[in-house]
A and B are shown apart, each in its own frame.
Chain A
Amino acid sequence: MMTASANETKHEPDSEIGGLTRREAVRAGVLMGVSVAAAGTAVSLHRRAAVTGDPIGEGTVRHLTVLANVPPTLNDDVLIRMQRELVKAMAKPVEQRRWIMVIDTRKCVGCHACTIACVAENHLPPGVVYRPVVTEEFGEFPNVQLRFTPRPCMQCDKPPCVPVCPVAATWKRPDGIVTIDYDKCIGCRYCLAACPYGARTSDFGEDYLAGAAEGAPTDGQGALRGAPAAWAEQPSHEYGKSWTREGHQSPMGNARKCHFCLHRLEVGQLPQCTTTCIGRATYFGDANDPDSLVTELITRNNVQTLLPHKGTQPRVFYIV
């Protein structure tokens, strides 16, 4: 493994934020986080955004070859179009990308593919959901109707969850995604309470297979398999790092939320919820790209955000 100092040296040129080195900035952030908790949220909303320790600049440019060898056609699946646009956005420094999500509720078929794709991709335990889909029924027979509303983190431009964190474990990245550093998070759940969308849940370290096949030999040699789930023992990839669910290690005990699958964006892949949407109701892309599908979609007149009066300025838009 590389040492912290090697790391430091290597990244210094790319890490300057407003004249501070990355390290200073991070420190400032930590300190500020503490003072924020004391001083209240109003001031910090503005100031926090300017001082994240995220990598920016040329070093964040990704020249990906994804789809380069697949000739475009005039009638590509929107998944292909969006992935091409994603590759294009990744070729810009991170601070020039403006990730947004657009959800066309008219196309959502309420299948929960996104919910489970997210659970599987991010190894979410029982009780942790990044992408619920709310089903509502209204009307009276025979004039009845169903509505399905997927509800990921809104990645607010004014995120109420950020300033309440006493340890600055959560912040808004230059590309707009609200991040959590599980290794910093102390699991106080202030952020859960602050989010008007209920987008954050706590990881209590639960196990989907608790209570299954009790009494079966677990050495893998019995008549029944019995052994713990092989899939659950493998590490997950959130934030491009490795997370294994054992002991009480992070992310167990932490607050958790949607991060637009940053680790997939990094390699040129769409967020899981978008890629697996069987009704193609979820769109994802760079709002700074005037040619992108999402930019095209949010200019329509049937676009809304959730709870606009809260002033959170969501980056998730709904077509109704």
Chain B
Amino acid sequence: MSRNATQRNPISRRGFLAGGALLGSTLLSDELFADERRGSGDSAILNSSRPDTPYELVQADHHIQSACLQCNTGCGIRCKLQNGIVTKIDGNPYSPWTMVPHLPFNTHVDDAAPVDGALCPKGQAGLQTAYDPYRLRKVLKRAGKRGENKWVSIPFEQATREICEGGNLFSGVPGEQNRQVEGLRSLVALRDAKVAKEMEADVKGILDEKDRTKKQALVEAFKVKHAQHLHLLIDPDHPDFGPKNNQIVCAWGRLKDGRGDFYKRFAAALGTTNAHGHTTVCQGSLYFTCKAISEQYAEGKFTGGQKFYWQADTENSRFILFVGANLFEANYGPPNRSVRLTENLVTGRTKIAVADPRFSKLASKAWKWLPLKPGSDAPVALAMIRWILEEKRFDAKFLATANKAAAAASGENSWCNATWLVVIKDGKPGKLLRAADLKIDGQPLRTAEKRPTADGKEYDEKFMVVMVNGVPTAVDPNDATTPVVADLFVDTTLADGTVVKSGLQVLLESAREHTTAEWAAMADVKESDIVAVARELTSYGKAVAVDIHRGPAQHTNGFYNVLCWMSLNMLLGNFDAKGGLIKASTYDTKGKGKGNLFDITAHPGAVKAFGISSIRHGLDYEKTTLFSGYPAKRNWYPLSSDIYEEIIPSIGDAYPYPVKCLFMYMGAPTYALPAGHTNIEVLCDVNKLPLFIASDILIGSTSMYADYIFPDLSFLERWEFQGSHPNIPNKVQPVRQPVIAPIPEECTVYGQAMPMSLEAMILAIAEQLSLPGFGENGFAEDRHLKHPDDLFLRGVANIAFGEKPDGSAAVADADDREVEIFMNARRHLPRSVFDAQRWRGIVGESMWRKVVYVLNRGGRYEEHEKGYKGDRVAHPYAALLNLYQEKTASTIHSGTGKNLSGVACYVPVCDFVGKEPDELRTGYGLALITHRVISQTKSRTIADPWLSALLPENGVLINPRDAERLALRNGQEVKVVSATNSTGNWPLGNGVEKPMIGRIVLTQTMRPGVVSFALGFGHWATGASDVTIDGHVIRGEKRRQAGIHANAAMWTDPVVKNTCMFDPVGGSVSFYDTHVRLEPVGGAGAKASALP
């Protein structure tokens, strides 16, 4: 800390004393303040018989800065404490989410204390989530059938022991008297790292063998070689299934870094390859299309694509087309993006257009609204692409930069492969042409070069080919010294007879499949509006963007919808530009390779996991021993991961293999997924899933089906590293930290007291099973992992240290006053959570004050102005963008057996085998979509009564034109039915059903023919239903049942049957493709739900 307290203006006495609740009671302070208040007296504001009391919420000593998790925007929050209780949450002014520009990071905490940032209503209601009366304090064990909601509370140690050792665990449950449950100890079969390594290498050999006969021979050879260890495998005839350890699946809903490190470490220690998240229920295809776009050409192949995406630099854009994004209510936007937009809209500096079948709050501020038909993103985008290409309004200079050097020479950070030549075979674009393969006069255009790989081997670099003024020219994509600027549109036959086109040409032809008028008609949007928006997009240089979110992504054609919009961005040349498309940037928490700091990824003794994942991702179907032609039994996902809709349904089909134990952390797939009821059917079947363990803060809509629920800490009690979003230009790392005393009981693991939590559960299982990487020397010699703080505080120390090995990027030291504030603000926390001496011991003396400095500010935040360098962003993507995707084009759709398209194109909504669902539409005339309101986040915010007050129940939004046609009136109750759920009921298991009934809301904001409901209502758990614990009935709160959740009306895939429809490429669930009918509900009693 460079500045000392004396340089600062002293805090006024009144202020200082008001903050120092340490001084004691108000009685005492009244005496002390008597003099201070002379003049304003006992009645500074209001003369009355009631004495004044100090406003302690303004004082730093009553604040803990943290990060919100009421949704995943992760705004910086300031939690204000009264007597150790959070009574008010505001925005953290150090965070760029809640103030623009945010306060400089070096602002003293006392000086920042009176400055509050802005925060959305959900964030402010977060304290109600934490103090919810339904919060769990003890471990619950199932005492009835799965989902019956009969429980007993059991000691933490008993739960751990039972899960690890197995046995006749549910002898008291009818039907399970004799059921033996296999415990984790038996499932963690393969523990020998050497055996695992050898098996992994041999399995790789099997997968890489293309000839099926030879592949089978390799399997036989495997069985001979590993004869002694075959009992460790799931199925010796399919060594590629991997070891039995893979029959443990660790799944999660919302998991952020830190906790993610813990949970993934747990999976690694268990030796399972199955650690799967929820991405595809959010906007998976947005992530995985951008992953495909960001694959880098390295060592002769495309690899290293990032699971991420770009958003507009909201603050500096001149024109933004928002597609299926409503950032005033969701989409990682409300506090951070609204503020960056509204003033610019009012002054006319920024103009926006919104494409959405529903007129959102965002649309209410738009210059133009394109009310497109759901799923018709590609037609609108391709119409714009066609117009922009034909009118030559694209950024030709950017598109022509064929390599890194060319990008640098033209002031760009990134470059695009639009000019690279694609080989056309049988009229179809396939692989990119390699210079070493192109023979001119018998000589290769450029001879292949031997180059070293990262792991010390060699590979043949064969180079790409572009046309430069009509002459084929080899290009080294990563060459930083020799710029290659190439021809944009190429359609020719080379001297050796190879037919080639440039990627941009391939895109043009895709866009020319229809005229702009035809495209417009397909989306039912005015052609003139499409052209007007395209004109605006190409009128402000690089300070423009197409900013997309769930809307385009959550369709069966999500991948290509996203690719169309992102290709349009490439034509605009707006990547890394101020006002263009930007990406997130964060301070590292992991400490890998930071010299003497903490590597929290170090995992001594871990056994390398291998084998096909339970959701069949990251691997081509054709490579596996399961290959048996098309369609596969279920879809394979070589280009994506975290396929949420496959985790439980795949268990139901035991494909690729049976699963014995499922962990679910902070996930509610039964509620959140389209056709979520398909998951309930599997979860209720103890034969399909023998052991199901949940970590939850309450009995939730999925954890209610578990065998054991471990109580977890809410976001106000735990640690996490929230990370950032692509709309934040600054480098940041918000830190979530313990704010209130834990609600769950304490437990003891590795001899340490700690609150029950996800981490405690993991540590206890690790202790019971002696798993590597936990406990004594868990990270390294003398670096233990016995308490959650051992990981999280070291992560904070890494943030504080920064990324320069010499420590020159470290934050300042907290001064004495800041340390005092730090201690005062945490005086209500039990020692098992906050113990200054213990904390200090973990991070060491040299880092302690830096850690305090970061925690006092709720994370680390770069100064606002450092987000840019001139007209470029300071943290650019700065890499190759694949307008044409060779890797995608080489991938085969496991449902159809056909190669995927490598370029943006229109794909209709289809089922798994590529059939359009016309039969499902027949008789169901309304397209169903969903939307988000600011007051709810899917499954987790219904606990908060303040939010219910804003919108007590959602309804079925419909245009009056449709309502008139269907004779429906405002407020009338209707049931939502579809071809795959003709009863309109949500089966909750054990014969209980919740009818999907909601009230009609007439509104002109809906496109005729489309109906919508807001997510977050219509609960059956999460405090909505009665539960029996230890023989006592605890009543559900009726308020939480209100409204409708119609996900179970969304189509199940007609081929796969036990999951929703999905995007076979990007993995997204289909949220917006279903067609439904609204059936009026007769009689007053019809709404009475079957819920207890």
A residues apposed to B, CB below 8 Å: 1-2, 4, 7, 10-11, 14, 22, 26, 53-55, 58-61, 63-70, 73, 75-80, 83, 104, 106-107, 109-113, 115-117, 119-121, 123, 126, 137, 139-142, 144-148, 179, 181, 183-184, 208-209, 211-217, 221-231, 233-235, 237, 239-242, 262-264, 266-270, 275-281
The number of chain B residues touching the other chain, given as a range, is: 35 or more
In the complex, are the beta carbons of B83 and A10 less than 8 A apart?
A: no
Interface centre among A65, A216, A242, A276 (most CB of B within 10 A): A276
Measured CA separation A147–B361 after assembly (Å): 9
Binary flags per residue of B1007-1045, CB closer than 8 Å to A gives 1, else 0: 110000000000000010000011011110111000000
Interface centre among B15, B90, B121 (most CB of A within 10 A): B121
Measured CA separation A233–B83 after assembly (Å): 11
Contact of A119 among B329, B935, B946 (CB under 8 A): B946
- Given A54-B47, A223-B138, A263-B55, the answer on whether A109 and B133 have CB atoms closer than 8 Å is no
Contact of A67 among B50, B82, B111, B121 (CB under 8 A): B111
In the complex, are the beta carbons of B87 and A234 less than 8 A apart?
A: yes
In the complex, are the beta carbons of A111 and B15 less than 8 A apart?
A: no
B107 within 8 A of A: yes
Contact of B42 among A7, A123, A224 (CB under 8 A): A7
Q: 20 additional contacts, CB 8 Å, given A78-B343, A237-B53? A: A11-B41, A59-B40, A61-B39, A65-B9, A65-B11, A75-B101, A79-B118, A80-B115, A112-B935, A113-B120, A116-B125, A141-B959, A212-B134, A212-B1023, A216-B1032, A223-B1029, A231-B85, A231-B128, A277-B118, A279-B339
In the complex, are the beta carbons of B136 and A278 less than 8 A apart?
A: no
5 A-B residue pairs with Cβ-Cβ distance under 8 Å, sorted by A, are A1-B51, A113-B121, A137-B1004, A179-B46, A267-B58
Binary flags per residue of B759-782, CB closer than 8 Å to A gives 1, else 0: 000000000000000000000000
In the complex, are the beta carbons of A211 and B1038 less than 8 A apart?
A: yes
User: CB-CB < 8 A to A140: which residues of B?
Assistant: 1004
A-B pairs, 9 with minimum CB distance: A59-B39, A213-B133, A116-B121, A208-B945, A223-B153, A146-B364, A107-B342, A214-B1035, A109-B328
In the complex, are the beta carbons of B342 and A10 less than 8 A apart?
A: no
Contact of A276 among B11, B42, B90 (CB under 8 A): B90
User: CB-CB < 8 A to A266: which residues of B?
Assistant: 44-45, 55
Contact of B52 among A66, A240, A270 (CB under 8 A): A240
Contact of B1029 among A77, A224, A275, A281 (CB under 8 A): A224
- Given A2-B34, A140-B1004, the answer on whether A228 and B133 have CB atoms closer than 8 Å is yes
In the complex, are the beta carbons of A26 and B15 less than 8 A apart?
A: no
User: CB-CB < 8 A to B10: which residues of A?
Assistant: 65
In the complex, are the beta carbons of A275 and B12 less than 8 A apart?
A: no
Measured CA separation A228–B12 after assembly (Å): 37
B686 within 8 A of A: no
Measured CA separation A242–B1035 after assembly (Å): 34
Measured CA separation A113–B371 after assembly (Å): 28
Measured CA separation A235–B26 after assembly (Å): 13
In the complex, are the beta carbons of B743 and A239 less than 8 A apart?
A: no
Closest to A225 in B: B135
Measured CA separation A78–B347 after assembly (Å): 15
- Given A59-B41, A231-B85, A241-B53, the answer on whether A109 and B342 have CB atoms closer than 8 Å is yes
Measured CA separation A63–B131 after assembly (Å): 38
B949 within 8 A of A: yes
Measured CA separation A273–B115 after assembly (Å): 14
Which B358-406 residues sit within 8 Å CB-CB of chain A? 359, 361-362, 364-365, 369, 371
Which B322-340 residues sit within 8 Å CB-CB of chain A? 328-329, 334-335, 338-339
In the complex, are the beta carbons of A241 and B50 less than 8 A apart?
A: yes
Measured CA separation A164–B311 after assembly (Å): 55
User: CB-CB < 8 A to B946: which residues of A?
Assistant: 116, 119-120, 208
Measured CA separation A237–B56 after assembly (Å): 9
User: CB-CB < 8 A to A241: which residues of B?
Assistant: 45-46, 48, 50-53
User: CB-CB < 8 A to B945: which residues of A?
Assistant: 126, 208-209, 212
- Given A212-B134, A269-B116, the answer on whether A275 and B90 have CB atoms closer than 8 Å is yes
User: CB-CB < 8 A to B112: which residues of A?
Assistant: 70
User: CB-CB < 8 A to B213: which residues of A?
Assistant: none
Closest CB in chain A relative to B667 CB, distance in Å: 21
Measured CA separation A60–B40 after assembly (Å): 6
Measured CA separation A237–B1029 after assembly (Å): 39
Measured CA separation A216–B1037 after assembly (Å): 12
User: CB-CB < 8 A to B9: which residues of A?
Assistant: 65, 68-69
In the complex, are the beta carbons of B361 and A278 less than 8 A apart?
A: no
Closest CB in chain A relative to B694 CB, distance in Å: 15
Measured CA separation A270–B1034 after assembly (Å): 42
B1084 within 8 A of A: no
Measured CA separation A239–B52 after assembly (Å): 8
Closest CB in chain B relative to A180 CB, distance in Å: 9
In the complex, are the beta carbons of B101 and A269 less than 8 A apart?
A: no
Measured CA separation A26–B49 after assembly (Å): 12
Contact of A223 among B53, B125, B151, B345 (CB under 8 A): B151
In the complex, are the beta carbons of B124 and A120 less than 8 A apart?
A: yes
Closest CB in chain B relative to A62 CB, distance in Å: 8
Interface centre among A1, A213, A266, A278 (most CB of B within 10 A): A278
Which B847-905 residues sit within 8 Å CB-CB of chain A? none
- Given A55-B40, A183-B50, the answer on whether A116 and B124 have CB atoms closer than 8 Å is yes
User: CB-CB < 8 A to B41: which residues of A?
Assistant: 7, 10-11, 14, 55, 59
Measured CA separation A139–B90 after assembly (Å): 36
In the complex, are the beta carbons of B91 and A229 less than 8 A apart?
A: no
Binary flags per residue of B105-123, CB closer than 8 Å to A gives 1, else 0: 0011001101111111100
Measured CA separation A184–B50 after assembly (Å): 11
- Given A55-B44, A73-B101, A146-B361, the answer on whether A280 and B343 have CB atoms closer than 8 Å is yes
Contact of B1039 among A80, A116, A211, A230 (CB under 8 A): A211
In the complex, are the beta carbons of A213 and B1034 less than 8 A apart?
A: yes
In the complex, are the beta carbons of B1035 and A215 less than 8 A apart?
A: yes
B457 within 8 A of A: no
Closest to A108 in B: B342
User: CB-CB < 8 A to A54: which residues of B?
Assistant: 46-47
Interface centre among A4, A109, A144, A234 (most CB of B within 10 A): A109
Contact of B1034 among A121, A179, A215, A242 (CB under 8 A): A215
Measured CA separation A280–B82 after assembly (Å): 28
Closest CB in chain B relative to A55 CB, distance in Å: 6
Contact of B339 among A66, A123, A216, A280 (CB under 8 A): A280
User: CB-CB < 8 A to B1033: which residues of A?
Assistant: 215
User: CB-CB < 8 A to A60: which residues of B?
Assistant: 39-40, 44
User: CB-CB < 8 A to B345: which residues of A?
Assistant: 106-107
Closest to A10 in B: B41
User: CB-CB < 8 A to B328: which residues of A?
Assistant: 109-111, 279
Measured CA separation A70–B1006 after assembly (Å): 47
Closest CB in chain A relative to B591 CB, distance in Å: 32
Measured CA separation A123–B87 after assembly (Å): 9
Closest CB in chain B relative to A60 CB, distance in Å: 6
User: CB-CB < 8 A to A111: which residues of B?
Assistant: 120-121, 328-329, 334, 338, 361, 934
Measured CA separation A208–B1037 after assembly (Å): 12
